[in-house]
Amino acid sequence: MADSQFRLLLERRFLPFFGTQAFGAFNDNVYKNALLIIATYDTAAYSSLDPRLLTNLGNGLFILPFVLFSGLGGQLADRFDKTVVMRSVKACEVGIMALAGLGFATHSLPLLLAALFLMGAHSTFFAPAKYGLLPQVLVEDELVGGNALLEMGTFLAILLGTLLAGVLASYHDMPMLIGVLLLIALAGLGVSAFIPRTPPVAPDLRIDANLLRSSLANMRAARVDRVVFLAILGISWFWFYGALVLAQLPLYAKLTLNGTETVVTLMLLGFSLGVGTGSLLCERLSGHRLEIGLVPFGSLGLTAFGIDLYVATPSAPAPAPVSWAGFLVQSAGWHVIVDLTLIGVFGGLYIVPLYALMQRRTPRAVMARVISANSIWNAIFMVAAAGFGALLLKRGLSIPQLLLVAAILNFAVTAFIYVLVPEFLLRFLAWMVARVMYHLRITGLANVPAEGPALVVCNHVSFVDALVLSAAIHRPMRFVMDAAIFKIPLVNLVFRGMKAIPIASSTEDLAVREAAFAQIFAELAAGELVCVFPEGRLTADGTVGEFRPGMMRVMQERPVPVVPLAISGLWGSPFSRRYQGPARYLPRRLWPRVKVRIGIPVEPKGVTPESLRARVVGLRGPIA
């Protein structure tokens, strides 16, 4: 396992690819932002169109190719060496920038919009190769770090491209702008020559040149795995939200704040810096593993700071145009920039785990085609965002009101996704327990089988044991729990989402008990992890109680490896039974340390309640 995601930047399997992607994103944003800023502040020289319409039209043209060509792009990336595909795309970029240069030189808006469309097509063919290459060159526990670096590099490139676009647009030096665009495209082409070759994953795939049919085929491939498809929808929603917000920033700066081009640059800078920061934080906050619990955390931040951006917006624009320095002197200036930066941070926390989840759950043979389906859905959502923004502005909404609508919609849509896939919300609760409430340390994680059935046995210290274990072990587990607790209103929704198995004693409810064992057998037969607390109750004195013999029935019916595991550090917490009455809720320690120690699996033939208890006691150590 890599100690740091930055180690990848020293390796040839990643660095040239990273640089090629960064140069591409850099050029995209120098060109796109320069065009939009110039067209917004110097409209008469290019078109008589309303700047608000022109802004949304430009964004729509850039993403339309994703709808048209993603199906073909995914097939090409699976059929051929992804490195060859990326180099070919970078060669085309040089020609596209030459066309854009001609458009700037002649003040031809049709040529500039055509180049913008072609840059969207360039990105359409590049994306499946880009995201499809990662699982081929990275091992599984490098995926989060690799995606985080990729997003960080992309948004750092966006940041630098935005800054450079603002500078070039403010000087109106067309020869310099044209030269810079060509130079960046040539640099990207040069770096791509160092990307190592990779074997095609589907060399016998027949390319279907019918754009509609190939796109529909790729979209069907993405629906084979429900979790992958919902991850794609989650990613697409982020691009809807981001496209809706970012498209309005030039007009927000000009009309609402009376800011110059440098204010637009400052706002885009804050957002891009935020996304890069949030992407890098994913690796640290997730413990170098895929942690989809960060997705709800990110979505909550997108909504909270989207609403706060509306609150921060001044009621009236400045009486005279202000530069970035003058804007920051205003009382609302820092508030707006901080909100946009934090929207970016939480956007990074939201998007990186979803990309890693999509890559991990998708078979390599169809990876690029599924990623192209993701691009199609992203594009559909972004085109919808452009139309939605234009419609609401035409209906009379102000730009701040439109940003508020986007934040409220984000809450509603992401809540719906979490209802469809409760695992996202449950992982969030587990992550909060492990990373916010407690300082979790895990040893022996490699002892948990990476796949296949196993029975996990653990001492029972507190009411949050299951959440702690869910945070420690990223394989989903089916927890066997007391039926009376399982039935508690509202909390029951969480237990059902965890696919917990309610059980009762034979004297309490024989039917529930038999149904529990039947479900345990079924889950193990399906290759799942099942976790039991053999004591049958929370400890009342901190010790490990006697293990009940119910697990022996499991061993007889469905013999599987047994993984002994011990929790320490929760005894004395508000969720344990150490203290009674109001005193139990008093804080004892700040950010208490909780340890999860996992022992070597035991073969079913050697299992007895007594021997397992001895192993768990040994793993736990002294009462703490």
pLDDT of residue 302: 93
583-601 confidence digits (pLDDT tens): 665 665 666 788 899 999 9
The tokens describing 532, both together, are 């039991």
Sorting pLDDT into bands at 50, 70 and 90, what band is 419? confident
Q: How far apart are the first and last CA of the chain?
A: 30
Model confidence at 556, in pLDDT bands (50, 70, 90)? confident
Strand duo 529-532 + 477-482: pairing: parallel
The token duo for 67 is 């709808």
pLDDT of 35 reads 83
Three-class DSSP category at 599: coil
pLDDT at 90: 92
Q: How far apart are CA 69 and CA 213, in angstroms?
A: 11
Report the mean per-residue pLDDT for the chain.
83
- Mean pLDDT value across residues 14-41: 84
479 to 20, 554, 616: CA distances (angstroms): 46, 14, 18
Please give the pLDDT value at position 339: 93
DSSP sequence for 127-139: HHHHHHHHHHHS-
| Cα angle for residues 624, 448, 298 (degrees, 5° grid) | 80
**Res. 624: pLDDT tops 60:** no
* CA separation for the pair 270, 159 (Å, rounded): 8
pLDDT at 91: 93
Burial-class residue 506 by CB neighbours within 10 Å (0-12, 13-18, 19+): exposed
Type and span of the H or E element at 562: strand 562-568
Percent of the chain surpassing pLDDT 70: 93
d(CA 454, CA 66): 44
Please report the pLDDT score of residue 342 as a whole number: 94
Angle at 26 between CA 21 and CA 29, to 5 degrees: 125
Number of residues that make up the chain: 624
Task: Provide the pLDDT for residue 194.
Answer: 92
Q: Cα–Cα distances in Å, from 423 out to 368, 479, 526?
A: 26, 14, 18
Model confidence at 346, pLDDT cuts 50, 70, 90, reads very high
Q: For 406-415, what is the mean pLDDT?
A: 87
Contact yes or no for 429/494 (Cβ under 8 A): yes
Residue 2 pLDDT more than 60?
Answer: no
Cα(422)–Cα(74) distance, integer angstroms = 30
Question: How confident is the model at residue 218, as a pLDDT?
Answer: 78
With beta carbons less than 8 A apart as the criterion, state whether 422 and 227 touch. no
Coil vs helix vs strand at 580: coil
Express each pLDDT in 355-371 by its tens digit: 888 877 887 777 778 88
Q: pLDDT per residue over 262-295, tens digit each? A: 888 788 888 888 888 888 887 777 766 667 778 8
Q: Which helix (H) or strand (E) holds 34?
A: helix 15-41
What CA–CA distance (Å, rounded) separates 58 from 248? 12
Strand partners, 595: 441, 568
Does pLDDT of 186 surpass 90?
yes
d(CA 68, CA 214): 10
- What is the per-residue pLDDT across 193-226, written as a single tens digit (0 to 9) for each? 998 888 888 888 888 778 788 888 878 878 877 8
pLDDT at 106: 84
Task: Order the strands of the 593-598 sheet from edge to edge.
Answer: 439-443, 593-598, 562-568, 454-458, 529-532, 477-482, 501-503
Q: pLDDT band for position 1 (50/70/90)?
A: very low
The predicted model gives 405-424 an average pLDDT of 81
For 137-176, what is each residue's pLDDT tens digit?
887 777 777 877 887 888 788 778 877 887 887 777 788 8
Residue 602 dihedral angles phi and psi, to the nearest 5°:
-110, 130
Q: Tell me the C-alpha distance between 566 and 623, whole Å.
A: 11
Q: What is the 3-state secondary structure (H, E, C) of 259-270?
A: ECHHHHHHHHHH
DSSP structural state of residue 572? T
Residue 377 half-sphere exposure, CB side, CA atoms within 13 Å? Answer: 23
Interval 476-491 mean pLDDT:
83
Q: Which residue segments constitute the domains of the chain, with CATH numbers given?
A: 11-420 (1.20.1250.20), 434-620 (3.40.1130.10)
Q: What value does the mean pLDDT take over residues 309-314?
A: 90
